[in-house]
């Protein structure tokens, strides 16, 4: 019925694929929750210290609670952060996530590696947030 219907399939997402709506909404809710982690002092401190420090932190986190990926994905991630510090937020939240079950591990790995998937879930999460704000404004009237 859908191209992507399970956490294990997320890594294979390509633009134009269909995702089970329940899975997509679950990912969007998780992304908004993880976004709130960027409001903490530790994240701000890492960002102030610059890209090199952020990259070292990511590498140290991977030793503890790793996302298995080949060197080309690490290189891409490092290049993203060096060229645009704002991209660190994406990786920070996913490396902070406790990956204590297979679903979380598959989700975090796919969102780190797969830009198309990340962009789609980011768009869904932002739309969900905009709808929530719009509904709240309607209730205030």
What is the pTM (predicted TM-score) of this model? Answer: 0.86
pLDDT at 125: 94
- Reduce the DSSP state of residue 34 to 3 states and report it: helix
- Reduce the DSSP state of residue 118 to 3 states and report it: helix
Residue 129 has pLDDT above 80, yes or no: no
What is the chain's mean pLDDT, rounded? 89
pLDDT tens digit sequence for 59-116: 888 766 667 778 899 899 999 999 999 999 999 999 888 888 889 999 999 999 999 9
Residue 8 has pLDDT above 80, yes or no: yes
Burial of 100-134, coded b for 16+ CB within 10 Å and e otherwise, reads eeebebbbbbbbbbbeebbebbbebbeeeeeeeee
Burial of 37-75, coded b for 16+ CB within 10 Å and e otherwise, reads ebeeeebeebbeeebeebbebbeebeeeeebeeeeeebe
pLDDT tens digit sequence for 20-53: 999 999 999 999 999 999 999 999 999 999 999 9
């Amino acid at each position: 019925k859908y191209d992507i219907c399970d956490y294990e399939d997320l890594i294979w997402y390509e633009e134009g694929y269909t995702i089970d709506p329940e899975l997509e909404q679950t990912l969007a809710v998780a992304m908004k929750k993880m976004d709130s982690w960027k409001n903490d002092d530790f994240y701000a401190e890492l960002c102030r210290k610059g890209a090199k420090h952020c990259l070292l932190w990511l590498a140290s986190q991977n030793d503890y609670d790793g996302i298995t990926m080949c060197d080309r994905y690490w290189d891409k991630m490092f290049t993203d952060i060096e060229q645009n510090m704002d991209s660190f937020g994406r990786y920070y939240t996913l490396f902070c996530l406790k990956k204590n079950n297979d679903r979380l591990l598959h989700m975090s790995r796919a969102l780190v590696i797969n830009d198309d998937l990340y962009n789609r879930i980011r768009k869904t999460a932002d739309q969900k947030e905009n709808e929530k704000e719009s509904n709240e404004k309607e209730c205030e009237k």
